Amino acid sequence: MTHARQHPTQVVAHRGASEDAPEHTLAAYRKAIEDGADALECDVRLTADGHLVCVHDRRVNRTSNGRGAVSALELSDLAALDFGSWKSRDPAGGPRVEEPDWEHRPEDREATSVLTLERLLELVSDAGRRVELAIETKHPTRWAGQVEERLLLLLKRFGLDAPAAPADSPVRVMSFSARSLHRVRAASPALPTVHLTQFVTPRLRDGRLPVGVGIAGPSIRIVRSHPEYIERLKQSGHQVHVWTVNDAPDIDLCTSLGVDAIITNRPRAVLDRLGR
Ligand code: G3P
Ligand code: CA
């Protein structure tokens, strides 16, 4: 299966506009849409009561004022937490060192509350323009298929689980786990899938991906050290989506190699560099 694209490099906001606003919050995704991002990236995990929420780490400790594993907390526990104020704190845990540089309105509590994937899908549906979604399944093996099952059910509710063709789909599923992508493909063959890689593997070296996966998702470190793999993947008809690309030399490298999507914490800066 190939997914050759005709249009220019997509700019994907990694965890939202996460340099400016707290990652994986409505504030960060609203900012990314305002900034003109073509797509939004999010990580999804299951809560103890079976809701898909957008959180990167296994625990909420880094990005909220709470503690504990997402999988051990219910959605109501997470809803009581603040996922915004850490962004303007000293990383060592000290007092606030600066004012938030996104438009923080305390009355808009939802902007920095835990974000469900359902709410993010609503945001994208209401964006008023096409905004794609790159959804990454986190630790899918722990849940023996439940993450993918819940994900596909939710996509179905939004009419997004069965695109006519991969190129038409505004949603794609990403994972470091080939097994997770296989589960998605088995249930929804036309949904595009992205295999993320942070280490060089023999398969990647040969320009190959797991069976049926159309899109490669190498880290920028791999692209810097082995640009020839990107050329090989593209020659094999695969799209290449690179993460996490924040600085001008890396943006230029990706552009020169013709990568299909740049995943970045700074969507506005990348768009500027691309002259858009
Ligand atoms: O977009 C892929 C990238 O997000 C994978 O790494 O750790 O940021 O989820 P991570
Ligand atoms: Ca991710």
Tokens of 274: 């691309």
Nearest to 72 by CA among 88, 56, 50, 87: 50
**56 is an active site residue:** yes
What pLDDT, on the 0 to 100 scale, is given for residue 1? Answer: 39
Name the average pLDDT for the chain: 92
- Domain total in the chain: 1
pLDDT band of 99, cuts 50, 70, 90 = low
Per the CB < 8 A criterion, the answer to whether 171 and 132 are in contact is yes
Tell me the best of 15, 139, 196 to mutate to test the pocket of ligand 1, counting ligand atoms within 8 Å of each CB and taking the most: 196
| From 3, 14, 24, 51, the catalytic residue | 14
Per the CB < 8 A criterion, the answer to whether 136 and 42 are in contact is yes
Q: Whole-angstrom Cα distance, residue 48 to residue 81?
A: 16
Question: Is 1 a domain residue?
Answer: no
Question: Is 241 a domain residue?
Answer: yes
Question: Is 226 a domain residue?
Answer: yes
3-class state of residue 38 by DSSP: coil
Backbone angles phi, psi at 94, to 5 degrees: -80, -170
Which ligand approaches the C-alpha of residue 39 most closely?
Answer: 1
Residue 162: is its pLDDT beyond 70?
yes
Question: Is 213 a domain residue?
Answer: yes
Domain hosting residue 168, numbered range: 10-273
Among protein residues, the one with the nearest Cα to ligand 1's atom 6 is 243
Question: Is 20 a domain residue?
Answer: yes
Per the CB < 8 A criterion, the answer to whether 119 and 79 are in contact is no
Q: Whole-angstrom Cα distance, residue 264 to residue 269?
A: 9
Ligand 1 atom nearest residue 15's Cα: 4
Which tens digits make up the pLDDT trace of 8-54? 799 999 999 999 999 999 999 999 999 999 999 999 999 999 999 99
Percent of the chain at pLDDT above 70?
90
The CATH number that applies at residue 74 is 3.20.20.190
Residue 4: is its pLDDT beyond 60?
no
Question: Is 5 a domain residue?
Answer: no
Tokens of 255: 């552009």
**14 is an active site residue:** yes
Which tens digits make up the pLDDT trace of 43-56? 999 999 999 999 99
What pLDDT, on the 0 to 100 scale, is given for residue 100? Answer: 59
ipTM of the complex: 0.99
Which tens digits make up the pLDDT trace of 114-161? 999 999 999 999 999 999 999 999 976 666 799 999 999 999 999 999
Tell me the best of 43, 172, 180 to mutate to test the pocket of ligand 1, counting ligand atoms within 8 Å of each CB and taking the most: 43
Percent of the chain at pLDDT above 90?
86
